[in-house]
Amino acid sequence: MKNGMDKSTELILEYAKELAKQNVVGTGDCISVRSGAYLIASKADVRLEDLTENDVVKIKMSDAQGEYALHARIYAAKSDASAVCHCHPAWVEPIARCGAVIPAVTDDMTQIVGRNCKTCKNDAGTIAKNLKKRNSTLVAGDGCVTAGRTLNEAVTCVLVLDKAAHCFVASTVLKKNVLINFFEATLMNVIYKMKYSKKNQENLQSEEGSL
């Protein structure tokens, strides 16, 4: 840990920097990790690229309001989630605004996100319900929300969604949209989660510690 900074804050700052580096940040982004009855989160009114230690807050789940209430609602609905990212990548935003679905256009999306990523109503209860059995959702007019067993997993989902959105928009314009079929997409996602992702996330959970 740097200069006595707690592990949760260090993780938030580390991954905020990574999201900014990958250029998938926007206005209203907020990332958080679960820490018992609390959530440690970036201030929703501070852009991730400008985030400092003083911009990371600790809030009791039961007292969470606004953006933080959304994160608390997701943690309550998804017991295996230890991290949540609400981000606004440039390629995801227009798809979320028009309420479209990103289909399985890339292998990594199929493996990490699943056979598609749908847009849901901009309502905390609906978003939490949509994430109960998924790790990603688009939100009507409000970017995307991802949840993971680690912050690494949640951030990875944001990066994969942005890439898939870029491919989807580009291929739709060019009229050469090649999709991975339903059976292959489902199978690839199951195999990835069972064989590869499980061990990787166990290692990351160990590294990130019990938050």
pLDDT digits over 140-154, tens only? 999 999 999 999 999
- Kindly state the average pLDDT of the residues 37-41: 96
39 or 1, greater pLDDT: 39
User: What domains appear along the chain, each with residue ranges and CATH number?
Assistant: 7-208 (3.40.225.10)
Radius of gyration of the chain (CA): 16
Q: Closest by alpha carbon to 160, among 150, 146, 177? A: 146
Which are the contacts of 100, defined by CB distance < 8 A and separation ≥ 6?
119, 138
Closest CA to 7 of 35, 43, 45: 35
In which residue are the tokens 């501070």 written? 46
Res. 174: pLDDT tops 50: no
Given a cut of 60, is residue 186 above it in pLDDT? no
Residue 185: is its pLDDT beyond 60?
Answer: no
Using CA atoms of 9, 11, 17, 19 in order, give the dihedral in degrees to the nearest 10. -120
Whether the model pTM is above 0.85: no
- 3-class DSSP assignment, residue 91: coil
